[in-house]
Chains A and B, each alone.
Chain A
Amino acid sequence: MSESNTPRQANEVESERPETLDDEVVLDVALDTADGAMAPSVIPATSQGGQIPHAASGSVFRQIVTGNAMVSVLSVLLAIVLGGILMAVTNPKVAETAGYFFAQPGDMLTEVFRPYVALVQGSIFNWAAADTAGQLYPITETLTVSTPLILAGLGVALAFRAGLFNIGAQGQIIFGALFGAYVGFTWHLPFLVHLLVVVIAGLVGGAVWGGVVGLLKARTGAHEVIVTIMLNYIANFLLLFLLTTPAFQRKGSTNPISPFLDQSALFPELLGPQFRLHAGFLLAVLATVLVWWLLKRSTLGFEFRAVGANQSAARTAGINVPRAVILVMAIAGALAGLAGIAQVSGTEKYLSGGVAASIGFDAITVALLGRSTPWGTFFAGLLFGAFRAGGVAMQAQTQTPIDIVLVIQSLIVLFIAAPPLVRAIFGLNPRKKTKATGGPGSGTMPSGKIESGAATA
């Protein structure tokens, strides 16, 4: 594919390695070390911004959605630190204990760290619980909450790879949940068959809602961001409307809540009734593997990535771009639809107006944090699941507002979207680094260099 890239990049690429799409990282290291002439930087060259042709040729969009792992990790770290400061500043108990900091420093430090301790207790391991089940409950809860995040995140990430900004996961989740739940509570089929039919219904629901976006994009050129946002509204209000109709309401009730799905339509519980963890998590793992295979090993995935890298080049190379756009959106929608199934067949067991919560929007952050790679998205989903699960315990134990979790998530997005800022904060700017190793005088170096690095990125 490299032949058809911009000339400047093509030269670079051809002289080094022909398969740019598959081996961007290897290429980065090669550039970074100037073919082994100098020690490799911690940060690959692509993510350092500045004058490197390879990076300069990519759009800002591509840089953000496929940024580098170190920036992701540092962004999370920064967000957690800032969130901690925010909690400390707003917590009256911290102010109170700070008054006698020198008499009993432990008091203030305990107060400062209490929310995060609770976060860990609520998301990984609760050492204070009375029995083993209670101690392990948090980690199972993290896996449960992360299931729909991973599935929807994969959908968003896949579309990112094809160069499409899929904001529509929310609507696709709702459609998946809508189709799946309807099949789940109106049809009565034997165990496993019913679940399978529900899963397929969810896949179809999501694929339809995603496919519409692809179709509009491919046939009319309508921008997918606008279309997906609008379709989110339509899906949401359609759900609210349907829940006021008798077909979706429980018998004898006028509340906007659907009947429970049949027992046979539910994901089996993996660890018994005292845990919420259900087989949907295994589905999320499977989906991650499938998306990885699709992107890395299949022709179709190669076409998606080619379209994402450069549409004109892909077209010249004989790839049917409209077909790829429709297909990638349909598959992305199907993945988000599965997230909807994880909700109705896994945790919620019925359909309500809030069945999709804010999963579709969190999924965008998850995909960004995971750099649009399948496994990156998987682990980012786990992290966000941990935030969600731990947030509950944090609120219950320390009465810290749950909104702080949202603040941390938002900060993560902010930092991911501004890699130079993150690198400047951690002193990882490439030019500063070379100066720093140069001699002891580097400490007084004017900070202008960092800013210029940031400005060009």
Chain B
Amino acid sequence: MKQSLRATLKRGSFAGVATAGAAALLLAGCGSAPSASSSGSATKSDYTACMVSDSGGFDDKSFNQSGYEGLQAAAKDLNIQEKHVQSKADTDYDPNLRSMVQQGCKLTVTVGFLLGDATKNIATANPNSHFAIIDYSDPTFPKNVKPIVYDTAQASFLAGYLAAGTSKTGKVATFGGLNIPTVSIFMDGFADGVKYYNQKKGKSVQLLGWDKDKQDGTFVGDFKQVDKGKVLTQGFLDQGADVILPVAGPVGAGAGSAILDAKAKGTDAKLIWVDSDGYLTAPAYKSVILTSVQKTMATAVETVIKSDKDGKFDPSPYVGTLDNGGVALAPFHDLDSAVPADMKSDLDQLKKDIISGAVKVESKSSPK
């Protein structure tokens, strides 16, 4: 008896909740439907630009994200449709690209060398669709693919020079996600920048984590293991390095948190972010981000989409350099005071010298 009473009570209270919920829904659902004309007021162009990420995803705080921001900006500024799909694994590239073509995309931007083969295949099979691929170039690409590549070594050369000049311990360090050209190009430029500083100033700042001659160094093994990035960074800090350049996309967050930990314990260290301006994309670490080696992909993507929309697509590669602003050293933001004035003028001069060719920046991985 008691039990059934309780059951009834339960049922009663449930009914009450249900009634209240239904009433709330009823009230909430009483709005008037938007008329057909008002929803159609923002007439968009039929042009559709699309993007396929690599397995890092659009939230990688790195090159997928930068590319995606470019797509969003293009959609807004040019008033066009956009579609984007994330790839969860290398095996998703082909089907994702196919589905973009089926969705009627005029231009599909693919992000990363991993999509190189898939882009080539699908582009060959669909000669009437246009494609652009970030960070990869292949001389055998068909005429409807535009590579967007970056001579990142130019900007990371500046970062190396800056790191060597601001290091108090005389040791700087770098590590990568995987030993692949788009990563090692950062490390080559960084190593050369440090070397150039040593030559010019007669110092002997040491670089840990990358040997340019052997083309080998410290790597996480992928672009996902943030923990491992933290462990590697702690190792470098223990060895006395005080400026760290992680070239591993989202794994940079691990380096950031290791440096924050060290800072809390009284060790002063700084972080150099890559791809995007970390001060803006990874604000958690903005107190330790000295600068960022930026690849301004958003601008490049928007430019390519715009020229395709205007019917001016051409398959010649877009190469981002210091000269055209495709690669750059980000502002120092909060750590501006940590960079001496003569270092700033050195960097300006160095930038001019690199653009003019007076200082040669060479990497095996540079786009040819």
Contacts and interface: CB of A to CB of B under 8 A. Distances in A.
A383 B117 CA distance: 28
B33 A107 contact: yes
Interface residues of A, number: 52
A392 B4 contact: no
Given A107-B33, A134-B102, A255-B181, A396 B85 contact: yes
Interface in B1-44: 3-4, 7-8, 25-26, 28-34
B180 A276 contact: no
Nearest to B102: A134
Contact of A444 (B4, B85, B179): B4
Contact of A396 (B8, B96, B113, B364): B96
A434 interface: no
B29 A348 contact: no
Contacts of A244: 179
A357 B89 CA distance: 5
Interface in A233-247: 237, 240, 244
Contacts of A98: 28-29
B90 A141 contact: no
A250 to B, nearest CB: 10
Contacts of A352: 90, 114
B113 A255 contact: yes
B180 A358 contact: no
B99 A357 contact: no
A107 B179 CA distance: 50
Contacts of B31: 99-100, 103
B316 interface: no
A312 interface: no
Contact of B99 (A102, A350, A392): A392
B29 A353 contact: no
Contacts of A240: 178, 221-222
Given A255-B113, A350-B117, A129 B102 contact: yes
B129 interface: no
Interface in A125-149: 129, 134, 137, 141, 145
Given A352-B114, A396-B99, A99 B221 contact: no
A99 B29 contact: yes
Interface in B88-135: 88-92, 94-96, 99-100, 102-103, 113-114, 116-117, 125
Nearest to B95: A392
B33 A103 contact: yes
Interface residues of B, number: 44
Contact of A103 (B32, B55, B102, B103): B32
A397 interface: yes
Contact of B96 (A349, A354, A392): A392
A186 interface: no
Contacts of A448: 3
Contact of B125 (A141, A254, A274): A274
B90 A389 contact: no
A393 B34 CA distance: 28
A404 to B, nearest CB: 11
Nearest to A274: B125
Contacts of A397: 103
Interface string B220-234: 011000000000000
B206 interface: no
A255 B270 CA distance: 30
Contact of B95 (A353, A358, A389): A389
A162 to B, nearest CB: 29
A296 B52 CA distance: 46
A396 B85 CA distance: 6
B168 interface: no
Contacts of B113: 255, 257
Nearest to B86: A402
Interface string A253-277: 0111100100000000000011010
A446 B7 contact: yes
A122 interface: yes
A137 B222 CA distance: 33
Contact of A402 (B28, B88, B94): B88
Contact of A102 (B4, B30, B91, B117): B30
Residue from A101, A137, A343, A406 whose CB has the most chain B CB atoms within 10 Å: A101
Contact of B180 (A103, A134, A237, A254): A254
B83 A399 contact: yes
Residue from A104, A349, A392 whose CB has the most chain B CB atoms within 10 Å: A392
B212 interface: no
A358 B103 contact: no
Interface in A410-457: 444, 446-448
B181 A101 contact: no
B99 A401 contact: no
Given A273-B125, A354-B55, A100 B4 contact: no
Contacts of A102: 26, 29-30
Interface string A337-369: 000000100011110111101110000000000
B358 to A, nearest CB: 29
15 contacts: A99-B28, A100-B29, A100-B33, A103-B31, A255-B113, A257-B117, A348-B94, A349-B117, A352-B114, A393-B99, A395-B96, A399-B83, A399-B84, A402-B88, A444-B7
Given A137-B102, A240-B222, A395-B86, 14 more contacts: A102-B26, A107-B33, A134-B102, A254-B365, A256-B178, A257-B117, A274-B125, A349-B117, A355-B91, A357-B90, A395-B85, A396-B100, A396-B103, A399-B84
